[in-house]
Amino acid sequence: MRERMPGKMHQDETRCKAVILTTHFNGWHGIYFKLNSNNMPTKTKQKEKTKNIVALTGDQAASEAMRQIDPDVVAAYPITPQTEIVMNFSQFVDDGKVSTEMIHVESEHSAMSACVGSAVSGARTMTATSANGLALMWEIVYIAASTRLPIVMPVVNRALSAPINIHCDHSDSMGARDSGWIQIYCENAQEVYENVIVAVKVAEHKKILLPVMVCQDGFITSHGVEGIEIFPDDKVKKFIGEYKLEHTLIDVDNPVTYGPLDLQDFYFEHKRQQSEAMKNAITTIPEVLAEFNRTFGKSHDLIEEYRLNDAQIGIVALSSTVGTTKTVVDELRKEGLKVGLLKPRFFRPFPKERITKALAGLKAVAVLDRSESFSNEGGPLFTEIKAALYESAKRPLVTNYIYGLGGRDIFPEDIKKVYKDLEDIKKNGKVGSLVNYLGVRD
Amino acid sequence: MAKKGWKDIPIGGLIEEAGTAKEYKTGSWRTFRPVIDKAKCINCLQCWMHCPDSCIKVKDSKMEGFDYDYCKGCGICASVCPVKCIKMKPDVKQ
Amino acid sequence: MANIKELSKIPERLTSGHRLCSGCGASIAVRQVLMGTTSPVVTAAATGCLEVATTIYPYTAWAVPFIHNAFENVAATISGAETAYRALKKKGKITKDIKFVAFGGDGGTYDIGLQSLSGALERGHNFVYVCYDNEAYMNTGIQRSGATPTGASTTTAPAGKVSYGKPQIRKDLTAIVAAHHIPYAAQGCISHWNDLVTKSQKAFAIEGPAFLNVFSPCHRGWRYPQSDTIKIAKLAVETGFWPLIEFENGKWSFTYRPKERKPVVEFLKTQGRFKHLFKEENKPVLGRIQKDIDTHWNYLEKLTQATSA
């Protein structure tokens, strides 16, 4: 058993020493405790103003959101570390807790293929995958986006082979960054739960109609237990609304053709439409998030800034590493260092304006990438942020750290080293090494 | 005719209407055209059953003729006709 | 038994104006198979000749709902559509009774789509899968497939100075499908329309997966005059090259037996793809092909006897 879950270090709810009851919640045999609005432990009989907090892993959080969404069809294939999502959801199906028709496909390629067949038929459709599974479904990942099908897919980030490795890095979903899917990266299991719900609404928005990947860090988030605030079923149901596709494949009275051969004279126009959908997404997602925030009392945004206002140096990171970094920021702030952190929640569409604005006031920025692009110019998050900054009148010096490949832990000491390097860059006014490898043995 | 731009076509490659291929006349492919001797025809509909292009017009279970808009002139109808009442003749283009 | 005059009243599901080659066997197969039901149908096709030639944007030759997804996944795609249909029907969002049918060529079925097909059969979706078998990858230019018969010259297993074409035998896909113990599987041929339409009627009527392997000659790939498509299909049946068999609820049976099986050379000699086999040095291959056909026929005879009780 791992002693520490770096991504779990900044969980205000889980810091509470709650009165823990073992109970049975929607099929979870787990730990169940309730907190009042001040996040203080309380007895469960006090119904008013209590949040429904349940101890769940990231995988369980994803499947719990799926239970509440109650999609018409789920087609999925198990792969570590996503397996628990498929297992949990199958249990919901077999216990009659959802009305979903589940397709236990024989591969991820067929999972996404069946999702395409289902989504064009007007069914709200979901799947989930990881790493090699995502790689196997690659061909159809593009087809789902290009056919403009609002499929939602939790992705439990895991390193791609070879050598085979079951632990976290972002090489799987980062490879799919140009597939036309919206990508959300989650800091913790609470965000996984919330983002899966958000994803349905985003994907099905008339101005968007694109599939969404909801990414969480394999094992770190997917298998770490957190206290998750679960919203009431009816509230979730009301928020996501009904899925209504205008032209469905199974409308036999109005026959349509999906997936034609599209040659030189129209293919480009269809791609142009896809670009437009992603442009619409960057302006429409904040509206969906505002509605989510109003409904559930949250504060989701395209990005999250952490103590960045007066910061001089900053880190940009995705997913669970953000939690670790927040702790380090707090520590360094106590020492008087003006450090901050930027967490893009959405990577597709790329929130360029927000990112460049958030970083404009900084002297030096380090971008942490949990995947390699092998371009020799840094990881995917870095190159995109660097490109975005090119058009900024005020832009910081930037450097890149590739870290955590194949599940290599990132420690507060590693993050501190990055901030120390940034201090040097700030002082010297230049970047020594553009692409650095953090936590690898020489 | 000007082709529609990206703002004016359905998304996702969807074709909203059924059977639009009818607008595409494949009859121009033809070099031989089938010609029927109605006097000999027994209306067995073998030609209809085996036409790859659905070009045999049938009305009230009777062979009515060919749809030259689409007939590609393969000659299968003539080949399967049990009474040999269909002949393939060089197609004279207008 | 199907009545041709009655069948002619069923509206065409595949319209004219598609761009399959003149004399193509695939569209004949599609038309005959779709005569097997009067219910509303949702169709799907794997990437291949049928798909590209019938749906060149903005044109579609499908008068019924149609989806193409990719090459190897038509069975999975139709699984998704059929499941969505069940899900929405359960919720009262759709009320009609709909049939689902997937078409794939031999490349998309024998080879790259076999896993997807196997999965869909094992899961028991209510659909008909139709392989229009023209014995090679025709869409990409006549490359060998798992369905290409021994001795055929293709662009990737061409007859050459040291080769007589494809040395291997074609795989017995119908038997592989039957090994999933689905309710119905059959081999049909476009020259025997009554047999095929009857099989299609059974396939559509049955609850659960059904499979039709339909022999569909390709004059470009097989190199024969385009008017001979049906003639050659018929020879395949008469020589035992393509036996008309069915597997129904665990029992194998012949649905048609030639009075006397003609020698396979009668079939082979009609096509350019086998022309080289008639050279002196390749004569033993002709003998081998005949022997393989005889052996398989005897095997089928035993199979029908063994499962008839």
Question: Domain-by-domain residue ranges, chain A?
Answer: 8-233+262-296, 305-438
Please report the pLDDT score of residue B1 as a whole number.
Answer: 53
Contacts of C34 in chain B (CB under 8 A): none
Cβ of A148 within 8 Å of Cβ of B16? The answer is no
Contacts of C115 in chain A (CB under 8 A): 106-107, 110
Q: Which of A109, A121, A265, A271 is best to mutate for the C interface (most C CBs within 10 A)? A: A121
Cβ of B50 within 8 Å of Cβ of C19? The answer is no
Residues 74-103 of A with CB under 8 A from C: 75, 99-101, 103
> What are the mean pLDDT values of chain C's consecutive 10-residue runs (309 residues total)?
92 97 98 98 98 98 98 98 98 97 98 98 98 98 98 97 97 98 98 98 98 98 98 98 98 98 98 98 97 98 92
Asked if C240 and C258 count as a contact pair (C-beta separation under 8 A), the reply is yes
In this structure, what token pair is assigned to residue A362? 């900084």
Contacts of A277 in chain B (CB under 8 A): 11
Cβ of C79 within 8 Å of Cβ of A259? The answer is no
Residues of chain A with pLDDT under 50: 1-46
Given a cut of 80, whether residue B38 has pLDDT beyond it is: yes
Residue B94's pLDDT band (cuts 50, 70, 90) = low
Contacts of C77 in chain A (CB under 8 A): 113-114, 116-117
**Domain A8-233+262-296, architecture per CATH:** 3-Layer(aba) Sandwich (3.40)
Q: Where are the alpha helices (DSSP H) in A95-150?
A: 108-119, 131-136, 138-146
Contacts of C69 in chain A (CB under 8 A): 113, 116-117, 140, 143, 259
Q: Which CATH number characterizes residue C98's domain?
A: 3.40.50.970
Cross-chain CB nearest to B22 (options C15, C56, C227)? C15
Please report the pLDDT score of residue A11 as a whole number.
Answer: 45
Cβ of C15 within 8 Å of Cβ of B21? The answer is yes
Residues 242-281 of C with CB under 8 A from B: none
Which chains reach chain A with 3 or more Cβ–Cβ distances below 8 angstroms?
B, C
CATH among 3.40.50.720, 3.40.50.11890, 3.40.50.300, 3.30.70.20 for B36-94:
3.30.70.20
Cβ of B52 within 8 Å of Cβ of C28? The answer is yes
Q: What is the mean pLDDT of chain B?
A: 96
Please report the pLDDT score of residue C129 as a whole number.
Answer: 99
Domain of C242 in residue numbering reads as 4-308
The 3-class secondary structure across C122-169, one letter per residue, is HHCCCCEEEEEECCCECCCCCECCCCCCCCCCCCCCCEECCEECCCCC
Give the closest-approach CA distance of C81 to chain A in angstroms. Answer: 4
Cβ of B70 within 8 Å of Cβ of C17? The answer is yes
Provide the residue type at C61 as one letter.
Answer: A
Give the closest-approach CA distance of B20 to chain C in angstroms. Answer: 5
Give the closest-approach CA distance of C40 to chain A in angstroms. Answer: 6
Residues 88-127 of C with CB under 8 A from A: 88, 90-91, 93-94, 96, 98, 115-116, 118-120, 122-123
The domains of chain B are located at 36-94
Please report the pLDDT score of residue A49 as a whole number.
Answer: 64
Cβ of A270 within 8 Å of Cβ of B11? The answer is yes
Q: Which of B3, B9, B15, B17 is best to mutate for the A interface (most A CBs within 10 A)? A: B15
Nearest CA among A80, B51, A203, A397 for reference residue C14: B51
Cβ of B11 within 8 Å of Cβ of A256? The answer is no
Q: Which residue has the tokens 């955590």?
A: A404
| Domain total in chain C | 1
Please report the pLDDT score of residue A272 as a whole number.
Answer: 98
Name the DSSP letter for residue A158: -
CA atoms within 13 A on the CB side of C246: 20
In this structure, what token pair is assigned to residue A288? 């969906």
Asked if B74 and B23 count as a contact pair (C-beta separation under 8 A), the reply is no
What average pLDDT does this structure show over B42-50? 98
CATH among 3.40.50.300, 3.40.50.920, 3.30.465.10, 3.30.70.1560 for A305-438:
3.40.50.920
Given a cut of 90, whether residue B75 has pLDDT beyond it is: yes
Cross-chain CB nearest to B15 (options A146, A257, A277)? A257
Is the complex ipTM more than 0.95? yes
Residue A422, CA distances (Å) to A313, A325, A340, A383, A404 in order: 6, 14, 11, 18, 19
Q: Say if B42 is an interface residue toward chain C (CB within 8 Å).
A: no
